[in-house]
Amino acid sequence: MIIEDDPSVLRAISYMLGKEGYDVLTALNGLAGLRKAKEENPDLLILDVMLPGIDGFEVCHRLRAESQTAQLPILMLSAKGQEADRSTGLEVGANEYLTKPVERSVLLSKIEALLAAKS
């Protein structure tokens, strides 16, 4: 599942993952993403930080607080590349924090590693 408010980024990642055989769910903002993550129980979440409404840090924090989503692998993908942003992302519970733009091979390898660690 991808929570990303930039339609072009969302399309690009969705397309790339679809070509790799993944089923992709999407949400354009934090609240919709929270709701969908609870309803759909995805295998992994790619989460933008700068989202309308509630930001990715808060989304991650709330998902970690719910027993149903506490173990969901979360990969934060953000244009915010400062070390403080990365630290915050990991502190609120992200498994990985990557900055945009990210190379396709790096993103896919992180996704594969997170899914392998889950099973």
Quickly state the pLDDT bin for 118 (edges 50, 70, 90): confident
Convert the pLDDT of each residue in 70-116 to its tens digit. Answer: 999 999 999 999 999 999 999 999 999 999 999 999 999 999 999 99
- pLDDT at site 49: 97
Is 45 in a helix, a strand, or coil? strand
Q: What percent of the chain has pLDDT over 70?
A: 100
At residue 18 the predicted structure's pLDDT band, cuts being 50, 70 and 90, is very high
Show the tokens assigned to 77. Answer: 């993908």
* Total-model pTM: 0.96
pLDDT at 119 over 90: no
Q: Which two tokens stand for residue 75?
A: 């990969």
Sorted by where each begins, the domain ranges of the chain are: 2-118
Q: For residue range 34-44, what is the model confidence (pLDDT) as tens digits?
A: 999 999 999 99
Helices 56-65 and 83-91: crossing angle, nearest 10°? 20
Architecture of domain 2-118 in this structure = 3-Layer(aba) Sandwich (3.40)
